Amino acid sequence: MSETNSMGHPKLQPKFPVPSDIEVSQDIVREVGLLPIQDVAREAGLLDEEVIPWGIAKAKIQLKSTLSRLSSSPDGNYIVCTGINPTPLGEGKSTTTIGLAQALGAILGKKCFACIRQPSQGPTFGIKGGAAGGGYAQVVPMEEFNLHLTGDIHAITAANNLLAAAIDTRMFHEDSQTDEALYKRLCLATNKPFNEIMKKRLIKLDIDPNKSPEELTPEERSKFARLDFDKSTITWQRVLDTCDRHLRKVMVGMGPNETIQPRGTVKGETPRVQHSRETGFDITVASEIMAVLALAKDLPDLRSKLGNMVVGYSKSGAPITADDLGCGGALTVLMKDALLPTLMQTVERTPVLVHAGPFANIAIGNSSIVADKLALKLVGEDGFVVTEAGFGADIGMEKFFNIKCRESGLIPKCAVIVATVRALKMHGGGPPVSAGKPLATEYTQENIPLVTAGCCNLVKHIQNAKKFGVQVVVAINQFKTDTQAEMQAIRQASLDAGAFDAVVSNHWAEGGKGAENLAKAVANACQETRSEDFKFLYDLNLPIRDKVEIISKEIYGADGVDFSELAEQQMTQYENSGFGNLPICIAKTQYSFSCDAAAKGVPTGFRIFVREIRSCVGAGFLYPICGDIMTIPGLPTRPGFYDVDIDVNTGQVIGLF
């Protein structure tokens, strides 16, 4: 009989050398077998009726009934896993999140969940590859995790683009019809009373919602029917979950049927005009709807947030929302299943909740509030939930604390900061690291001076985390060429900077066993944290400008912030509209504290340039875009999709990562 782990499941038997990620996943599925997803759910404390199986490897979890049943249960220990500014290859933050959860659950026998984001198709087929973790610290089956999953990202794409279509369609009809004609088509043609979404707009316009459509005065009809978009203020863009740089700027409305007879002109005497405008695409994971999914607390909150999303302004300066367009309810219908977190398992059969998937460089970079809340209730007071914050701690962790924790009310006990010898050598002055190119010898041979010089980047992240009042544990993610002396240099620098502990972890090669010491350090750190010590970085009631400057100076180390003329106008508009008290979600490069991706270590003497500020009123934050950050990435010369194929005889995916 094979050995078992602390959960009573077959003990992980890692192979050496470690196969590719997809080979590890497929070996586990074939040789050990997946635990039936219903059994994963039962072991995690879920009832059968709370689980909606989605094939054999994953399931959706009912939210309302489950959270209601567990409402009186105490929360477990809340841990955020983040990292230093990475190389383009990534430093294993998702892998560490999974490895730590495996160590806490399968090795130490603690109740534990990992909560991670759903990967975007953009990096999966682009540069970075999948995001299921890696080696013997990953979610399985990794091909299902990375490809479609349960369709949540497709639902976001559909909802986002429905709203985009609604915007252009409404402008098309408004530009060619009188107010009375618009009103008749909107409200009188169906012979029905005002529905709830219409009543919401009536209340917003100070019109009696109890009136019938026939009772509105001509003035009230005009106010209701004409949104009167100022096209220059529209920030809502279409999305797709693919890296496609050629869609950053597009013209829409160029077809032969997208011409109109301008309102107020004489048909036959005035030529028809093309109803076109310049717009663009974002990647789906940067959509405000993705952020809404991550920050919604339940179905009513999801409906409210989606309906309140501001897509532009009228010519009089009034904000126009999805509900003004009559679209909020339909968006919620498209998103209702996406609100339910997806349950999966690691290679050691510990439970994982996969939910939401925003990038941290162009969005909030965190998995969902509902997944974290559900997991914290299921693990109980002595259990642990490891949730992931994307990219470097200067963006993912900062947004986790200031946006996600503020919205959820959840208080973290420990921040795990992932560091690697490779990335610290880069920050210490090593040659550039590029995906698809061999590493320079500086990265494959011992070079303690480079590591020591680069530790300044790690130290700054530790100092930043401690500003929020949480304990910091550094996870030194071990690669096969790292030496003991190099890793000891990182440990010493971490402790000198005030980290609670710094632990070498080899979970990629060994699974949970390789992260056992890290898990013990994290558990000890949680015992040393007092909830009352946690604090936010800024007061929400400060002016927008001040909040952006606090983040830029305190977290990035900038000398100050410069705002474009457009950004200045937008700040005035948002504050006049009552949106000035929202938290800030800065979009910037993940590769540096500054907006210059090439500025490594801890840059000084720089300023942050804000070129525009988008409003994500529904999600509940403002979105300054800094430097040359793009909201839809491009593909490299040799994208990852070159290596992805299928064995047509077995149906098995090959070469995914």
pLDDT tens-digit readout, 217-254: 999 999 999 999 999 999 899 999 999 999 999 999 99
**Cis peptide upstream of residue 438 (ω within 30 degrees of 0):** no
Pairwise CA distance, residues 423 & 518, whole Å: 20
Average pLDDT over residues 544-570: 98
559 pLDDT tier (thresholds 50, 70, 90)? very high
Higher pLDDT, 304 or 146: 304
643 pLDDT tier (thresholds 50, 70, 90)? confident
Pairwise CA distance, residues 384 & 363, whole Å: 26
647 pLDDT tier (thresholds 50, 70, 90)? confident
The answer to whether 622 and 570 have CB atoms below 8 angstroms apart is no
Sequence letter at residue 182? L
126 pLDDT tier (thresholds 50, 70, 90)? confident
Sign of the Cα torsion 205, 208, 213, 215 reads negative
The answer to whether 370 and 127 have CB atoms below 8 angstroms apart is no
pLDDT at 127: 67
Average pLDDT over residues 449-463: 98
Average pLDDT over residues 132-143: 91
Average pLDDT over residues 4-12: 91
pLDDT at 128: 58
Q: Which residues are catalytic?
A: 93, 95, 117, 128, 360, 391, 479, 508
The answer to whether 328 and 87 have CB atoms below 8 angstroms apart is no
pLDDT at 644: 85
Average pLDDT over residues 611-618: 94
Taking alpha carbons only, the member of 350, 427, 347, 454 closest to residue 105 is 350
Taking alpha carbons only, the member of 374, 349, 354 closest to residue 147 is 354
Question: Which distant-in-sequence residues (6+ apart) come within 8 Å of 89 by Cβ?
Answer: 128, 422, 433, 435
531 pLDDT tier (thresholds 50, 70, 90)? confident
HEC string of 9-76 equals: CECCCCCCCCCCHHHHHHHHHHHHCCCCHHHHHHHHCCCHHHEEECCCCCEEECCHHHHHHCCCCCCC
pLDDT at 450: 97
Q: Is the pLDDT of residue 436 over 80?
A: no
Q: Whole-number mean pLDDT of the chain?
A: 94
Pairwise CA distance, residues 627 & 610, whole Å: 7
Q: Is the pLDDT of residue 575 over 60?
A: yes
Q: Is the pLDDT of residue 546 over 50?
A: yes
Question: Which distant-in-sequence residues (6+ apart) come within 8 Å of 648 by Cβ?
Answer: none
Higher pLDDT, 565 or 647: 565
Q: Is the pLDDT of residue 268 over 80?
A: no
Q: Is the pLDDT of residue 65 over 50?
A: yes
Question: Which distant-in-sequence residues (6+ apart) come within 8 Å of 204 by Cβ?
Answer: 324
Pairwise CA distance, residues 617 & 235, whole Å: 12
Q: Is the pLDDT of residue 1 over 50?
A: no
pLDDT at 129: 58
Segment 356-410, tens digit of pLDDT: 988 888 889 999 999 999 999 999 999 999 999 988 999 999 999 999 999 999 9
Pairwise CA distance, residues 463 & 461, whole Å: 5
Spacing of C-alpha 567 from chain mean position = 24
Q: Rounded to 5 degrees, what angle do the CA atoms 9, 12, 15 make?
A: 160
Helix axes 288-295, 152-174, angle to 10 degrees: 130
pLDDT at 523: 98
Question: Which distant-in-sequence residues (6+ apart) come within 8 Å of 289 by Cβ?
Answer: 156, 159, 160, 306, 309, 331, 335
pLDDT at 249: 95
Taking alpha carbons only, the member of 87, 111, 102 closest to residue 24 is 102
The answer to whether 187 and 198 have CB atoms below 8 angstroms apart is yes
121 pLDDT tier (thresholds 50, 70, 90)? confident
Sequence letter at residue 168? D
Sequence letter at residue 41? A
Question: Which distant-in-sequence residues (6+ apart) come within 8 Å of 304 by Cβ?
Answer: none
pLDDT at 358: 83
Which whole-number Å values give the CA distances from 132 to 284, 364, 385, 421, 468, in the listed order? 19, 19, 17, 22, 29
Q: Is 63 exposed, middle or buried (0-12, 13-18, 19+ CB in 10 A)?
A: buried
Helix axes 288-295, 299-307, angle to 10 degrees: 150
Q: Is the pLDDT of residue 131 over 70?
A: no
Tokens 């089956």 — which residue? 141
Q: Is the pLDDT of residue 2 over 80?
A: no
